[in-house]
């Protein structure tokens, strides 16, 4: 009898404690709700994270594509930065089997050296070589003033570009161009390789749809595309 009474008392106590706990929890819920409401109404303009909004601005760069060459040097952060130089006279765009717009000679003429259709004759890349020579020569005065540098060592002669026909276009429709360098290339930094690859890619093709392999006496680097 007494045991039963004790059990009942215990049950009551437990219930009371639970009730008290419940009340505390309810109070906490109410407090949280009030807090939420207050924070919801935090007044004024709050600072925010960086939010993406819209695309980039597409500016025009002069000289126009047919009068320019695009060289890639390195910015202060070590990433390739394009530099556009005047080449004097327009370079006629010769036929390219990958140029979908290339049926109209007049139109092709409008494509300049910078537009990439620089091969005067299949297999010879005189203009590309010229562009590569400018790249190897390093940043000019204005480029240096803007804080641009080059990752390439002081080569005397530029590498020679040649199309790799036997492989055909890559699944993405890119041509492959091989750069033959008279100097070792395995020691080049990634940034320097990107400089060569990007400069070559945009010299060869206006859209940069080119993959470039770099080869020399000390070895061959795999085909790379311009990542800038």
Partner 1 sequence: MKACVSPEPGTEPGTEPAGADASGPAPRRRRRARGPRLHPFGLRTRLVLAFLLVAAVGCGTTAALTYRAARNAILEQTQDTAVSAFRDQVDPLVISLPVDTRQLRDSLLVIARQGKPRPWRVYAEYGTVRVSSTDRPTSSVITPELRARAQARPATPHGSFQRVVKNGKPYLTMAVPAVFRTHATKGTAQPTGLVFYAVMELDEEDANIEAMVSAARDGALPALAVALIPALIASRGVLRPVRELRRAAHSMGRGRLDTRIHAKGSDELADLARTFNESAAELERSVAELRDAEARARRFASDVSHELRTPLAGMLAVTEVLDEDAGSLDSDTARAVRLISAETGKLAVLVEDLMEISRFDARAAELHPDEVDAADCVRKTLQHRHWTDPAQVVPYLEEGIRARLDPRRFDVVVANLVGNALRHGAAPVTVRLYAEGDELVTEVADRGPGIHPDVLPHVFDRFYKADQARTRSAGSGLGLAITLENVRLHGGTVRAANHPSGGAVFTVRMPL
* Binders in 4-43 for partner 1, by CB under 8 A: 37, 40-41, 43
Using CB atoms within 10 Å of the CB of residue 137, give its burial: 0 to 12 exposed, 13 to 18 middle, 19+ buried: middle
What SS3 class is residue 27? helix
Two structure tokens written together for 112 = 């300049």
Candidate residues 14, 142, 167, 186; the one interacting with partner 1 per rule CB under 8 A: 142
Which of 3, 4, 48, 121 is in the footprint of partner 1 by CB under 8 A? 48
Q: Does 1 bind partner 1 (CB under 8 A)?
A: no
Bridge partners of 163? 177
Question: HSE of 11 in the Cβ direction (CA atoms, 13 Å)?
Answer: 6
- SS3 at position 219: strand
User: Which range of residues in 7-15, 59-67, 161-169, 216-224 is near partner 1 by CB under 8 A?
Assistant: 59-67
Q: Which residue has the tokens 């327009």?
A: 90
- What character string, x for contact with partner 1 (CB under 8 A) and - otherwise, covers 163-202? ---------------------------------------x
Q: Which stretch binds partner 1 (CB under 8 A): 14-22, 47-55, 159-167, 184-192?
A: 47-55
Contact status: 104 vs partner 1 (CB under 8 A)? no
Contact call for residue 62 and partner 1 (CB under 8 A): yes
> According to the binding rule CB under 8 A, does residue 205 interact with partner 1?
yes
- Looking at the Cβ atoms of 84 and 160, the one nearer to partner 1 is 84
How far apart CA 108 and CA 100 sit, in angstroms, is 10
Residue 44 binds partner 1, judged by CB under 8 A: yes
**What Å distances lie between residue 15 and 8, 18, 24, 29, CA to CA?**
10, 5, 14, 20
Residue 20 zone, left/alpha/beta (φ > 0; ψ -120 to 50; rest): alpha
- Residue 151 near partner 1 by CB under 8 A: no
Contact residue for partner 1 among 4, 53, 103, 172 (CB under 8 A): 53
Q: How far apart are CA 213 and CA 24, in angstroms?
A: 71
What residues line the site for partner 1 (CB under 8 A)?
37, 40-41, 43-62, 65, 70, 75-77, 79, 81-84, 101, 110-111, 114-116, 142-143, 145-148, 202, 205-209, 227-228
């Amino acid at each position: 009898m007494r045991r039963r009474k004790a059990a009942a008392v215990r049950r009551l106590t437990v219930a009371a404690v639970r009730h008290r706990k419940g009340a505390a929890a309810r109070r906490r819920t109410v407090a949280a709700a009030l807090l939420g409401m207050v924070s919801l109404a935090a007044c004024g303009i709050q600072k925010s994270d960086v939010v993406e909004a819209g695309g980039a601005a597409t500016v025009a760069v002069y000289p126009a594509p047919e009068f320019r060459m695009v060289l890639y040097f390195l910015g202060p952060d070590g990433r390739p930065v394009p530099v556009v130089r005047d080449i004097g006279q327009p370079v006629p765009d010769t036929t390219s089997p990958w140029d979908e717009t290339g049926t109209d000679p007049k139109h092709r003429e409008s494509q300049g050296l910078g537009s990439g259709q620089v091969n005067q004759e299949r297999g010879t890349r005189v203009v590309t070589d010229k562009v590569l020579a400018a790249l190897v020569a390093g940043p000019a005065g204005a480029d240096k003033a803007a804080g641009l540098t080059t990752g390439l060592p002081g080569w005397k002669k530029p590498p020679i570009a040649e199309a790799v026909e036997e492989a055909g276009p890559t699944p993405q429709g890119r041509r492959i161009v091989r750069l033959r360098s008279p100097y070792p290339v395995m020691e080049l930094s990634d940034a320097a390789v990107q400089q060569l690859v990007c400069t070559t890619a945009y010299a060869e093709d206006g859209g940069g749809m080119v993959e470039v392999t770099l080869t020399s006496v000390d070895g061959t680097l795999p085909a790379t595309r311009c990542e800038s």
